């Protein structure tokens, strides 16, 4: 999937082709997961993702989840219409170092700030990074609300999350 992701980033293939490759990935993971668990081989990291409260758009979030799994991350997908507090709770419960949030409405993206503020109020806040994305979201918005990063699309989300975690 790393190869597929790179081909997508360099416009050699387009998104439906990446998603067809994802089907093969799912089949492979079904076989590999028990072996990885048995041999205690860790994933690259855990990422909590979800679409923020009040928003039901999830295509982008789903694509991010697929790309992250393909890159070797364990994805905890909270779904859509997720209350801000739930992102933080899930990240703490699952010991996930990254929270990824998606919004497609200007009226819902404001909930992302609640997640960041919620984290700031906790002692664990420095250990959990936040990354945001979605059509109305921008790098400027991410900075304004204090999020750690912003990703334009699913492919770049993987790159940014790897950078946040300092992994190759």
Partner 1 sequence: MRDIVRFKGEQVRLPEKEVLGAQGVRSRASLPTRVRAAFDSACELFDELAAPVGVVEELTREEFPAVYEGEGNNPPVTPLPEIVTRSEGLALYAATLGEGVSRRIGELFDEQDPAVAYLLDAVASAAADLLSGCLAERFGTRLAERGVAPDHAKVLSYSPGYCGWHVSGQRRLFARLRPEEIGIHLNSSFLMTPLKSVSGVLVGGTGDTHHFRPDFPFCEACATHECRPRMASGVAEEGEESLGPNGATGGGARARRRRDRSRAYPSRDPSGSGACLDPE
Count of residues interacting with partner 1 (CB under 8 A): 24
Q: Which stretch binds partner 1 (CB under 8 A): 18-26, 89-97, 116-124, 125-133?
A: 18-26
Cα–Cα distance for residue pair 24/80, rounded to 1 Å: 25
Decide: is 135 part of the binding site for partner 1 (CB under 8 A): yes
At its nearest, how many Å lie between partner 1 and the CB of residue 149? 20
Among 2, 6, 12, 23, binds partner 1 (CB under 8 A): 23
Strands (E), the chain: 46-51, 74-77, 98-102, 129-133, 149-150
Q: Which is it for strands 74-77 and 46-51: parallel, antiparallel or unpaired?
A: parallel
Decide: is 54 part of the binding site for partner 1 (CB under 8 A): yes
Radius of gyration for the chain, computed over Cα atoms and rounded to the nearest angstrom: 15
Q: Which residue has the tokens 């503020």?
A: 117
Decide: is 105 part of the binding site for partner 1 (CB under 8 A): yes
> Phi and psi for 96 in degrees, rounded to 5?
-95, 130
Question: Six-digit token pair at 82?
Answer: 């997720």
Q: Which stretch binds partner 1 (CB under 8 A): 41-49, 53-61, 117-125, 159-167?
A: 53-61
Q: Rule CB under 8 A: which residues touch partner 1?
A: 14-17, 19-20, 22-23, 26, 53-59, 62-63, 66, 105-108, 135
């Amino acid at each position: 999937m790393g190869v597929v992701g790179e081909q997508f980033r360099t416009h050699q293939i387009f998104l439906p082709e990446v998603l067809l490759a994802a089907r093969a990935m799912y089949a492979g993971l079904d076989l590999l997961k028990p072996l990885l668990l048995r041999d205690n081989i860790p994933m690259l990291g855990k990422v909590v993702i979800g679409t923020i409260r009040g928003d039901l758009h999830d295509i982008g979030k789903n694509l991010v989840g697929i790309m992250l799994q393909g890159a070797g991350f364990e994805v905890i997908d909270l779904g859509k219409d997720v209350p801000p507090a739930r992102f933080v709770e899930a990240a703490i419960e699952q010991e996930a170092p990254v929270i990824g949030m998606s919004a497609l409405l200007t009226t819902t993206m404001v909930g992302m700030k609640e997640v960041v503020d919620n984290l700031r109020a906790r002692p664990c806040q420095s250990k959990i990074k936040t990354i945001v994305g979605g059509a109305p979201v921008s790098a400027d918005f991410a900075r304004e609300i204090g999020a750690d990063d912003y990703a334009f699309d699913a492919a770049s989300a993987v790159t940014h999350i790897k950078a946040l975690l300092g992994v190759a």
